[in-house]
Every structure is written in structure tokens, then in C-alpha cells.
Structure 1
Amino acid sequence: MQAAPGEAITAAAPQPGEVDGESAPLRVLSGATSTTPAPGKFRILMAVMALVLYALDQFTKHVVLQKLTVGDPIEVVPGLLWWSLHFNPGAAFSMGTQFTVAIAVLALCVLVALMGIVAPRVRGWLTAVAVSWLMAGVAGNLTDRLFRAPGPFRGYVVDFIAVRSFAVFNVADMCITGAAILLIIWSVRSERR
């Protein structure tokens, strides 16, 4: 747009309720949308991903309990990967085996905080995926602690994926680790911005 000779070239400032010089109702009617999805879409994404991963964790644990016995690993990739049934009363890497009840209570508090405080505030795809993975992982292992032997809040977590020179873990552990990696990536990207 050119100004008449002698006039300053300026663009009119958007008025309240306008975006890029177009009123908000006009943008809705014209089909123009924001590039940021609505928070409801993030909630749906988180709920679906968390439920699918939680179901996968519980299904795989059910299968290995039917097919495997403790102390009888099945080699999957020679020299690298085995299915090996273990019952873990502690946290990651079998640490804190004497604190099973405390770990279960902490996991329950974390899950409630994730669902009630963190998830409703998510406003990005990366954090939505990370939070859903974290919810699925915490819920998967918490289910074991609440409903498996030797009793509520003292139940042992079912682990069955054994990698050479590493700990034995499960799908829930993979979700928690993946979530931690995604949150680190999100943090680095946020700092760069």
C-alpha cells in the first residue's frame, strides 16, 4: 500500500478484538484459525495416548506372567535382549526395596498432580506427548503396587525386558524414560526461544 506524496507510510494498528487487522468474529466466519490447537485437543491427545500405553503395559505384563517363569529367561536377540521375569519391590534399578509403600504413595501423588494440575495446563504437542507418557508409566507401575502380591501399596512391579549390562524393565519404565527425554528436549527448546 502506498501513501500519497508527503504522507507517512504507516499501517493502522489493530483495534481491540482484532487479529492482524481482521476482527475475531470475521476470522471465525471466514474459516481462518490459529496455528495453535485448542487446549481440548491436547487433552484428547493426552487421554488417548495415556490409555493406549497404560493398556499396552498391563497387557504385556499379563502375557509374561502367563508365559514366563522367574529364573528362566528367553533369548530374543542373541547376546543382547531377553524376556526375563522379575518382581521388583523397589524403584528404578531395584533401589529402595525397603520403601515400597512410600514409593507407591509418592507415585499416587504424582499421578494425581499430573492429571489434576499439569495436564490441564499443557499448551503444546511435545509437552502433551511427554505428560501422557509419564501418566501411563506412573499409572502402570502404580497398578502393580496397588494390586499385586504381597498386598496393596506393597505390590511388586513386573519387569521382563532384559538388556545386556542394563536393568530389567517394562513398558511403563520405557514410558517414564521417554517422557523424561521429551521434557529435556522441551526445556532446551524453550531456553533457545
Structure 2
Amino acid sequence: MTDDPDAPEQTIEAPPRRRLRLLLIVAAVVLVTDIITKVLAVKLLTPGQPVSIIGDTVTWTLVRNSGAAFSMATSYTWVLTLVATGVVFGIIWMGRRLVSPWWAVGLGMILGGALGNLVDRFFRSPGPLQGHVVDFLSIGWWPVFNVADPCVVGGAILLVVLSVFGYDFDTVGRRRPDEDA
């Protein structure tokens, strides 16, 4: 501020708020929900005996998955564990610069889902880095999945949409066309 009444008023823009807390809250909600539902599935469901919810279209079906999505890479459980661990650390590192609340939600969904499946990889049989992920939701012809899986996919879709429409993780609002160069 100056004492000159004719000088243009200067506004000091506050630095953008960091969104790491929002990212961690979303991740925690996804993780806790995933763990609770898996514990209940293991306790209440019998492997190989689907429980009908809506006819044969939607069922609870307990499956142990040693691979990735759609049971791919079943012989590489330890590699999947290491990749997921890298993703978790990458998201946390990126979260320090995170400004966009929508990016925080998307990354939080991915982080929570990755952690949910990592808990299984580390603590379920047959042992650390090789544990099988508990899947229990079956819809039609789609492979059996758990709560973490659609969170990871939904979070990834959200990040792609944000990127396509010009929303960056470290800025507020949309990118201007003159900033693309």
C-alpha cells in the first residue's frame, strides 16, 4: 500500500491452498471401506458359492486374485506389489504440490484403492509381496472385483477428464490457451 490516493490499488493474491489433506482423507475413506468390506466378505462368504443379490446378474462371489485386473499377470504378484508401492509413493510425492481439489479427489481415489489392494498383497496368504487380493462383487459377465478396483478406475477417469479439459494438478482453475505453448 502507498500513501498516494491516486496510485492504483495493489492486491496481493494469496498462495493457492494445498490439497494434500483432501487427498489423504479421500484415500483413507476408500481404504477403510475396502478393508471392512473385504473382511466381511471373507467372514461371510464361502468361496465358489455365489450369493444372489439380483438374480444371477449381481452376486457376492468370493474370489482370491493373485494377478492384476481381470486376473492378468498371476505369476508376477511380487512385481504388481512393487509397482503399486511405487504408485503410492508417487502420489504422495505429487500431493505435496497439489492445488486442485478435483485432482486431490481423483488421486485420493487411486491412492486409497492402491493401498487397499496392497494391504492384501502384503498381509494375506500365501505371504508378503505375494498375497492374493480378495474380490467379491460380481456383475454379469464382468470379472469379480472389490471396492478398491472401481475407485482406482474412477479416479483415473477423473484425472483424464480433468487433463483433457485443461485442469492441472498444481494450479487453480483451467489452463488458458496461451499457456499451452
What secondary structure, in the 3-state scheme, does the structure 1 residue paired with 2:41 have? helix
Distance 2:153 2:44 in 1: 26
**Offset at residue 80 of structure 1 (A):** 2.0
Structure 2 unaligned segments of length 5 or more: list them.
Answer: 1-5, 168-174, 177-181
Give the residue type in structure 2 aligned to 1:145.
Answer: R
Q: 1:13–1:74: structure 2 CA closer, same or farther, 3 Å change rule?
A: farther
Distance 1:99 1:47 in 2: 29
Report the counterpart of residue 129 of structure 1 in structure 2.
Answer: 105
Distance 2:7 2:41 in 1: 64
Give the residue type in structure 2 aligned to 1:177.
Answer: V
**Offset at residue 53 of structure 1 (A):** 1.0
Report the counterpart of residue 146 of structure 1 in structure 2.
Answer: 122
Identity, % of aligned positions: 37
Structure 1 unaligned segments of length 5 or more: list them.
Answer: 1-11, 15-20, 25-32
Q: Which runs of 4+ in 1 moved over 3 A?
A: none
Report the counterpart of residue 22 of structure 1 in structure 2.
Answer: 10
Instruction: Map 1:45-124; keep pairs closer than 5 Å.
Output: 45-115=22-92, 117-124=93-100
Give the TM-score taking structure 2 as reference length.
0.84
**Offset at residue 13 of structure 1 (A):** 8.5
Higher relative contact order (CA 8 A, sep 6+): 2
Give the residue type in structure 2 aligned to 1:122.
Answer: L
Give the residue type in structure 2 aligned to 1:45.
Answer: L
**Offset at residue 146 of structure 1 (A):** 0.4
Distance 2:36 2:83 in 1: 24
Distance 1:74 1:121 in 2: 45
**Offset at residue 22 of structure 1 (A):** 3.3
Q: Deviations over 1:52-100 (max 9, x none)?
A: 1100000000001110011001111223211000000000000000000
Give the residue type in structure 1 aligned to 2:162.
Answer: W
Distance 1:52 1:157 in 2: 19
Q: Deviations over 1:104-144 (max 9, x none)?
A: 111111111111x2111211111010010010011000110
RMSD over aligned Cα atoms:
2.0
- Considering only CA atoms, is the larger Rg found in Structure 1 or Structure 2? 1
